[in-house]
Each structure stands twice: as C-alpha cells, then as structure tokens.
Chain A
Amino acid sequence: MAETFQNLLLGFSVALQPSILVYAFVGCLIGTLVGMMPGLGPLAGISLLLPATFGLNPIIAIVLLSGVYYGAMYGGSTTSILMRIPGEAASVMTCVDGYAMTQNGRAGPALAIAAIGSFIAGTFGVIGLMLLAPTLAEFALRFGPPEYTALLLMGLFILAYMSGGSMLKTLAMAAFGLMLGMIGIDVMSGYTRFSHGLVELGDGVGIVPVAVGLFGVSEILLTAGAPTAPDVQRPKLRDLIPSREEFRLSAGPIARGSLLGFLIGIIPGSAHIISSFVSYGIERRLSKHPERFGQGAIEGVAGPESANNAAASGAFVPMMALGIPTSPVTAVMIAAIMVHGILPGPLLIQQQPELFWGFVASMYVGNVVLLILNLPMVGLFVNLLRIPYSYLYPCILCFCIVGTYSVSNSLMDVWILLAMGAIGYVLRKFGYDLAPVALGLVLAPMLELSLRQSLAMSAGDYAIFVTRPIAAVMFALGAALFVFSLKPLFGKGGDWRASVGLDSEQG
C-alpha cells in the first residue's frame, strides 16, 4: 500500500509537470470537441490523432491520447442528450432518457449528472486500475471464448428489462440487430455473408453509422417534417442545476454503474460496450417506477454514463498490465507507445514506472480537467437549443455525414447511415424501440464468434461450458436471470398477454 502511494507520488510528479498538464488539458479539449461531432466517437478521435503523437515523447503521447479518449466519451454524451446522436455504441442508452429529458426542458441537469457520474466512475476506475491492475489482469486472461459466450448471453437477457414496450417487439428488434450483425466475413469459415458483392461490407455493418442513423437521423426525419416546428427552448439558470431529488435518484445508479462498468471493462475484448446497456437494464429493473424510463428518467442517464466511463478505465487494465491490444481503442494506444520503442507487456509496470504511474496520475488529472471543463459548459451547450430547429437540423445532418465518412473514409458508411435513418423512422412510426437493435448489432458478431470458438476448442463438446468454473457460474447466473425475467409472464393474476404488452391500443 505504501509502495503504491509512493508510486502514485511519482506518477503525480510526472503528471503535474506544466508541459504534461497542458497536453492533458489539450487532449481533453480536443476529445470533447471531437466527441461532440455526431458520428465521431472516442475510437475515431484517438485514431485521427495518433499520427500527431509520433513526434512527442511517449508519456505525453499517452496522456494526450487518453485525454482525447475520455474527452470524447464526455462529448459523446453531450450530443446524445441534446440531439439524440450517439457518438459511439456506449452512449446509445444515454440517448433514450437523456434526450427525453431535453425535451422536458431538463437538458441542463442531464448534462450535469452525466458529467458528475462520468467523473465519479472515471476516478473509481483509475483507483481500481492502480490498486488491482496486475491481479485483475491475470484473472481477466482466464476469460476465454466459453466465458465470453456466457457473458454475452447474459447481455442478451438484459433485453428483458430494457424496454417498457411490448416484449415481442423488443425481441423482434433484437433479432433484427443480431441479423445486421451477421453481415460480413465470417471469421470461422471465411464466407462473406449477405454482402451482395460489396467489398466494403466485408467487415460488417459498423455500429456508429447504425446508431447515428437509427437514433439521430430518424429523429430529424420525424421532427423536421412535423407540421409545427419544435419550440425553441430558453433555459433559465435555475433549470441548469440538477434538483436535490435528481441528485438523490442518481447516487445509486452512479455507484452501481461504476462498479459494473469497471468489472465488465477489465475483460479483454470489446465486451465493455455492453456495460451501458446492462446498467440501464439493471436500473430499470431496480427502479420503483420503471415506467418513467424512456420518458426522461435521470437514472437512465446516470447509470449508463457511469458504467461506460468506468468500463473505459477498466479496459486499460489488460492493456497496461499485459500489453495486449484486445480492443480497437487499446490497440491504438499501444501503437502510440510502441512507436517510441516501449514494448507493452507484463514487465512494463516495472521497467517504465514513470510511464505507468504518470499515465495513472494523468487519468486522475484528466477526470478533474473534464469536470471543470464540462460543468460550466453545460450552460453553453444548453444554449445550442436556442438555435431555431430549421437552422439546427441541416447542420446536424451535415455533421452526421462528415462524421460517419471520416471514420474510415468510406461512403458505404454514409449509405448505411441514411438507410438506417429511414428504417429507424418507419420503425418508430410503428411503435418499435430501437435500442435493442443497437444491442443486437453489438452482440451478434462477438456472441457467434465466441460460441463457435468454444466449440472449436472442445471439438464440438458442449461440456466446455459447464466444466470451466467461471463459465459455469456465469451460465447459472444467466439462467437464474432468465427465469426471473419470465416470472411476470406466469405470475398470479393478470392476463399474461398484458405483460407481453400487445393488448394495448397503441401504435
């Protein structure tokens, strides 16, 4: 413990050097701006900035990039809340209740709670990273394909809690998302599925164009053509600060989201994207008033936002402790230090203490910087809503197009964006929830791959899922969750059809 403290002092002596502090600040600022561009998220942000860091020293490079990464996470939640445009998969859930709060005139509190939640979760994540990195990393490595399958299946069960609408429609939308995820090259067999000969679809349909299209573009299509333009909001100062009640409601979700996000985040791979979905599902399940979710419940912003930021710190655990690029974001970060001749690996923490502890300390600093940067800016951002909608939406659309295009210089992504906008518009007219589509799309490739990898490992023996302790425990937990979610269907009294939600006279 004392040693950790000493190391942390070393870290802060690095991170608080004025030159490094400046870069942390610049990184956060760039990240926030990039994240606020619709369609550009953390991955795009750090990928675009990576080449610029080649000329800097490795500590500055990684401080700058992690600042961008964090900043883009914050920035992404801003566009999600104000305009219903997720910058990345993790902020899809923020769109739902965050934007509903904006429509209720509570954009300020939503932004503030998102910033505070992110700050708490980020700080919690860094503490976890600092104290537990080596231990946790060893544990995380034991997550092979069978454990992954179990985890992702549990992610699917969360669907049951995700939406207040019809269960059948939720399932249908999840199936639609999972099907979208089937497009592209099948890693296990080399077949290119459902690509209709388009080489660009080989990698499948990206989550960013789909999420931006389904949520952002469909919203514009619905609103821009409405007979009456939406009212221009003139937020007063009093409306910017969360009320005592809102703070009270957010405390639990932030705490749970931080823990959950961190735990999911340390698992190597891209599973951390599901943390915000899981958090949303849990909060809705725990809430005494689940019907408020989707209508602007502050818990639906606080939980997922915290979870996704804690997961972001958690994802650094395998990266720093083991040096394995297991997700696209950490791959870019590792490249950034590799070009400086630092080999990331298990020995990094011992061989490059300044780098590791400087990085840890700079994450504390980055979180503080972001909080100071973002809380006062809430007022500024909210004033964006004063722009008349007829000027706002064309600009948002252009941003969506350029943002989506920039990610991999691909027109295909723009086409996907527009198609998803149209599909999202129609589906919403028919009363379908869109969040399950995003969850399905995120889960499908990972779930299918890990299931088939497990079977390849065991030569087709399903026993592999129950003979490995972690997988077995997770499957048992998943099964319990599943039974639990079915319970209301067979509960005493009440027509079960009502609980499937199809009986109501709503479109």
Chain B
Amino acid sequence: MTSSESSGTSQPRGGLRSDQFSGLMLLALALYVGWANLEYPIGTLQEPGPGYMPLLLSIFMGTTGLLIALWGLKSAPLSGLQWPEVMRAIVILIACAVATLALERIGYRLTVIALLVFFLGVLERRRPLPVALVSLGFGFASFYVVGDLLHVPLPRSPWGF
C-alpha cells in the first residue's frame, strides 16, 4: 500500500522530509479509500450504511496524514534514511512469494525444502552439509508435526509426496 522501494533513491539534502513523505503517503491512501468507498451507500446518521465508517476513517486518516506532513518539517530528511537491508528484504519477500505460489502446486515438503536451501545455501552461503540437513530435517519434521500429528491437510505434490 505504501510505496516502499522507490523511496530509497537519493534526493538532494533539504528536500522532502521523512515525515512529510509518510504523511503524504497516508493522505494518498486515505484519498484512495475515500474514492473506493464511493461505491457503498453512506446512509444517514440515524441509519449508517456500509460506507459510513470507511468515510469517517478516510477523513480522519487523511487529516492525520496531512498534519504529520505539515509538522514534519523538522523530521529527518527522506534522503537521510538508510536502507542498508532493503535489497535482502526484497529478496526474502520474493522468495516467500514464490514459495506461496508453489505451495499448492508442488506440495508443502518440496516447497519448504527448496525455500530453505535457497535461504541458507544461496542467501546466507552456509556450507552444503548443514544446509541439506537443516532443510531436509525441517521439511520432514514440520510436515510430520503439523500434517500428521495435528491433521492439517498440508498440500502434497501431484506425485503424492
């Protein structure tokens, strides 16, 4: 919802302040909600409709966002924010998203093993043996506990594994 990655780009010092930026983002979100809310009847004070509370909230959030932006003059400059971990965070999120897509297609165990191998082997560059042990061990043990003991129907691969 809030744009994240683009904000890491450098801007001249004395430019946008971090609170100004985040406040404006909140304002934008509030405006979006207010717009999306047009679809639902507002109702009356006596009989609030489905759009009543979202409307109040978007007004409230827009106001706070605006105030944060207005009084954010003295906050740290946006360009001063450090994003040392952003690359890895994005990689982790993408890996998790791929795993989520794969979960119901290739089954729980294969997905988790692949995900762990990626994290430990590729991202953290651990030695192959511990990587193999941890990912296989975790994949099978967690399936046993959650799938077999707790009877959660965890997805299996088309090959029954």
A and B in direct contact, judged by CB atoms within 8 A:
yes
Query: A193-B54, A398-B142 known; A507 and B18 CB under 8 Å?
Result: yes
Tell me whether A502 and B72 are in contact (CB under 8 A): yes
Chain A contact residues: helix, strand, loop or mixed: helix
Check A390 for interface membership: any CB of B closer than 8 A. yes
Report the separation of the CA atoms of residues A194 and B126 in the bound assembly, to the nearest whole angstrom. Answer: 44
Check A469 for interface membership: any CB of B closer than 8 A. no
Query: A399-B142, A429-B83, A451-B48 known; A171 and B64 CB under 8 Å?
Result: yes
Tell me whether A411 and B67 are in contact (CB under 8 A): no
Query: A398-B112, A448-B53, A505-B76 known; A225 and B96 CB under 8 Å?
Result: no
Tell me whether B48 and A401 are in contact (CB under 8 A): no
Tell me whether B85 and A225 are in contact (CB under 8 A): yes
Tell me whether B76 and A455 are in contact (CB under 8 A): no
Name the CB-closest residue of B to A169.
B68
Check B92 for interface membership: any CB of A closer than 8 A. yes
Tell me whether A179 and B4 are in contact (CB under 8 A): no
Report the separation of the CA atoms of residues A171 and B71 in the bound assembly, to the nearest whole angstrom. Answer: 15
Tell me whether B2 and A401 are in contact (CB under 8 A): no
Count residues on chain B whose CB falls below 8 Å from chain A CBs: 74
Tell me whether A421 and B93 are in contact (CB under 8 A): yes
Check B49 for interface membership: any CB of A closer than 8 A. yes
Tell me whether B152 and A390 are in contact (CB under 8 A): no
Tell me whether B116 and A395 are in contact (CB under 8 A): yes
Complex partner residue of A414 from B76, B87, B103, B152, CB under 8 angstroms: B103
Residues of chain A contacted by B65 (CB below 8 angstroms):
172
Residues of chain B contacted by A418 (CB below 8 angstroms):
93, 96-97, 100
Tally A-B pairs: CB < 8 A.
190
Among A37, A175, A411, A448, find the residue whose CB has the most chain B CB atoms closer than 10 A: A175
Check B46 for interface membership: any CB of A closer than 8 A. yes
Least Cβ distance of A152 to chain B in Å?
12
Segment 42-98 of B: residues with Cβ below 8 Å from A? 44-50, 53-54, 57-58, 60-61, 64-65, 67-68, 71-72, 74-76, 80-81, 83-89, 92-93, 96-97
Residues of chain B contacted by A193 (CB below 8 angstroms):
40, 50, 54
Query: A172-B68, A179-B58, A405-B103 known; A225 and B74 CB under 8 Å?
Result: no
Complex partner residue of A427 from B2, B50, B115, B145, CB under 8 angstroms: B2
Check A1 for interface membership: any CB of B closer than 8 A. no
Report the separation of the CA atoms of residues A179 and B81 in the bound assembly, to the nearest whole angstrom. Answer: 28
Count residues on chain A whose CB falls below 8 Å from chain B CBs: 75
Tell me whether A225 and B53 are in contact (CB under 8 A): no
Segment 393-447 of A: residues with Cβ below 8 Å from B? 393-395, 397-399, 401-402, 405-406, 409, 411, 414-415, 418, 421-423, 425-427, 429-432, 444
Spell out A's residues near B (CB within 8 Å).
33-34, 37, 48-49, 51-52, 166, 168-169, 171-172, 175-176, 178-179, 182, 186, 188-189, 191, 193-194, 220-227, 390-391, 393-395, 397-399, 401-402, 405-406, 409, 411, 414-415, 418, 421-423, 425-427, 429-432, 444, 448, 451-452, 455-456, 459-461, 497, 500, 502-507
16 A-B residue pairs with Cβ-Cβ distance under 8 Å, sorted by A, are A169-B68, A176-B61, A178-B57, A189-B50, A191-B40, A193-B54, A221-B85, A222-B85, A226-B85, A394-B116, A425-B4, A430-B18, A460-B46, A497-B71, A502-B19, A502-B71
